Structure 1
Amino acid sequence: MSKLFNNYTHSYMTYLQIEKNSSVHTVNNYRDDLEHFFMFMNEQQVQELADVTHQTARLYLTTLHEKKMARATASRRISALRGFYRFLMREQIVGENPFLLVHRPKGTKKLPSFFYEEEMKELFEAADGDDDLSVRNRALLELLYGTGIRVSECAALSIADLDLHLGVVLVHGKGGKERYVPFGSFASEAVEAYLQKSRPVLMHNGEHQKLFVNFRGAPITTGGIRYILNGLIKKASLSGSIHPHMLRHSFATHLLNNGADMRTVQELLGHASLSSTQMYTHVTKEHLQKTYRNHHPRA
């Protein structure tokens, strides 16, 4: 990739981080997407970004299809390039957006995986224990399930974000958006026990204010949280491994199963669009159908 392309990529990444408040994960993915397209340009002997036409863009999409790339990945790559060219037009580097009329591949929607309430009870039993790490793990599990926050949002929490008296937590979500999420007495008691008993010991006289810490006293990472949750899965003898969002999916599904309205769940999850929340209706319908088949005498 030429130095000029490097400059364009760097400028676009800066734009995503500062002006669009995109996550580090999104920025890294988009950087990979641009580099992949630049290699394609080199193979096609297209020398300049302004030389990319609608036909070039369609050929690139065909190439992704021929390589049997996952639809979600191909769709993201087209989205990244559409945004990149929109940025280049704004900076008056190119005159048109060749990806504007290229249709992104539609991905197959998968129903979110979640734990049944009986499985959640097994997980909580697996987190029981009086040692410092067990007390921390219980607090972590209770807060994730009690609020439905993302694993990344949980890792970013500071002690000051919690109000144990009111039972709410200030969550720093995607795109710099903040929201208050309530939590119940189980999460409140577990977190308070962790703060009073375990965190001071795990900190080893450290001074940072991140809520959850690892056994060395450093702020816990998203990978660390997944490691803890997978350990609880094995201890509970539940099959498979835990997906980072499974507790979040369980939170939403259990709320809807017990009568919560869609708009409230949308606000609690921090979804910008109601359509993102509506995927859980398919899960709850499946749950109702299963209950009907198992219990109705003429099902």
Structure 2
Amino acid sequence: MSTARDAAGAFAVPDEVARAFRLEQFHDFLALERGAADTTQEAYARDVARFAAFARTAGVATPGDATPRALREFVFHLKDLGLSPASIRRTVSAVRTYYRFLLTEGYVQRDPSERLETPKRWRTLPEVLTVAEVERLLAAPSLDDTLVFRDRAMLELAYGAGLRVSEWIGLRVQDVLFEDQLLRVFGKGSKERLVPIGRSAIGAAAVYLRELRPTLEKGKGKGVLFLNARGEPLSRMGAWTILRKHVERAGIAKAVSPHTLRHSFATHLLEGGADLRAVQEMLGHADIATTQIYTHVDREYLRSVHRQYHPRS
């Protein structure tokens, strides 16, 4: 099957798609009628070619068949690809220009891009670790390390409860409720919440409290759970340093911060079928909209839930 490339040569589409979506005519329009700069022509042609390829895979045969919903799905697709908000804004602008061209030339009867929104400020989220990567990270502390029991407990609780770094280093000994398998966490504004923790986290915390913390405590611990080698409460920088050491040891190439563990915690729960409101409560978010932005749920999973449970799906 032959393909046609846009001017930048960076995005190929089948000739049939290029013809159906009038990509060559659009490029001529950019060059001749708008007098666009070469870089703009290339970018817009590439963006519209990407749209045409996406539309075909979504069952849209021609640009006239595209609906506003299909265009919104395209924007979500761009976000899922990891494009920056600036690139997505440019693509939306290209698609709008494309449909104005089609409408003016009489190739379409309506403009589905008329109300297409641009992402004004999408948050940049940290990378998510896979479950396998989390397992490698949690297994990274070695028995050869003097502070192995502390490090294991720290990583297990940080991931197991989805903690912010300030919550992580602010935990007190009395905040681990062993019998109830809960962690008492004080979040933003000193708001208290209770987060369930699993057997692995409970076990790691118990071993640390029994085997290591008493030897670290030199009267300067102030009741804080995690102490440094001098017996003082662990600092934010200390937590980062410990995490970085074990990320490297686990052979994880991604940029991992304490927030990455929190994000992974929420994402893994949602991917496993957890209720969004339950995750909101565990994360300590006052508004569920924050949870929806923060936890990038697989859109296909959401669609499958809707198909399965909505009476008119």
Query: Which ranges of structure 2 fall in alignment gaps of 5 or more residues?
Result: 1-84, 86-118, 304-313
Alpha-carbon displacement from aligned partner over 1:224-266 (angstroms, at most 9, x marks no partner): 1111000001111111432230000010000001010100000
How big is the shift at 1:128? Answer: 3.7
How big is the shift at 1:142? Answer: 0.4
Say what the alpha-carbon RMSD is for the aligned residues.
2.4
Verify the 8 A CA contact 2:185 2:195 in the aligned structure 1.
yes
- 1:110 and 2:137 aligned: no
CA separation of 1:192 and 1:148: change in aligned 2, threshold 3 A: same
Q: Which SS does the other structure have where 1:282 is aligned?
A: coil
How big is the shift at 1:195? Answer: 0.3
Alignment TM-score, normalising by the size of structure 2: 0.55
Alpha-carbon displacement from aligned partner over 1:115-168 (angstroms, at most 9, x marks no partner): 000101110121242644111100000001110011101111111111111111
Q: 2:179 matched to which residue of 1?
A: 165
Q: 1:176 matched to which residue of 2?
A: 190
Distance 1:254 1:116 in 2: 8
Aligned residues: 186
Distance 2:301 2:142 in 1: 29
Verify the 8 A CA contact 1:128 1:134 in the aligned structure 2.
yes
The equivalent position to 2:160 in structure 1, one of 140, 146, 152, is: 146
Q: 1:26 matched to which residue of 2?
A: none
Verify the 8 A CA contact 1:230 1:241 in the aligned structure 2.
no
Distance 1:125 1:286 in 2: 32
CA separation of 1:189 and 1:283: change in aligned 2, threshold 3 A: same
How big is the shift at 1:280? Answer: 4.8
- Given residue 175 of structure 1, which amino acid in structure 2 is its aligned partner? G
- 1:226 and 2:240 aligned: yes
- 1:247 and 2:261 aligned: yes
Distance 1:129 1:241 in 2: 25
CA separation of 1:232 and 1:182: change in aligned 2, threshold 3 A: same
CA separation of 1:269 and 1:281: change in aligned 2, threshold 3 A: closer
- 1:123 and 2:130 aligned: no
Higher relative contact order (Cα pairs below 8 Å, separated by 6+ residues):
1
How do 1:17-96 and structure 2 match up within 5 A?
A: none
CA separation of 1:200 and 1:261: change in aligned 2, threshold 3 A: same
How big is the shift at 1:112? Answer: 3.9
Distance 2:301 2:151 in 1: 29
Query: Which ranges of structure 1 fall in alignment gaps of 5 or more residues?
Result: 1-70, 72-104, 290-299
Distance 1:205 1:159 in 2: 14
Verify the 8 A CA contact 2:127 2:255 in the aligned structure 1.
no
Q: 1:63 matched to which residue of 2?
A: none
Verify the 8 A CA contact 1:128 1:138 in the aligned structure 2.
no
How big is the shift at 1:287? Answer: 8.5
CA separation of 1:277 and 1:213: change in aligned 2, threshold 3 A: same
Verify the 8 A CA contact 1:128 1:135 in the aligned structure 2.
no
- Given residue 208 of structure 2, which amino acid in structure 1 is its aligned partner? Y
CA separation of 1:161 and 1:188: change in aligned 2, threshold 3 A: same
Q: 1:187 matched to which residue of 2?
A: 201
Structure exhibiting the larger radius of gyration computed from Cα positions: 2
- Given residue 145 of structure 1, which amino acid in structure 2 is its aligned partner? Y
Verify the 8 A CA contact 2:267 2:296 in the aligned structure 1.
no
Verify the 8 A CA contact 1:148 1:252 in the aligned structure 2.
yes
Alignment TM-score, normalising by the size of structure 1: 0.58
Q: 2:299 matched to which residue of 1?
A: 285
Q: Which SS does the other structure have where 1:181 is aligned?
A: strand
CA separation of 1:108 and 1:279: change in aligned 2, threshold 3 A: closer
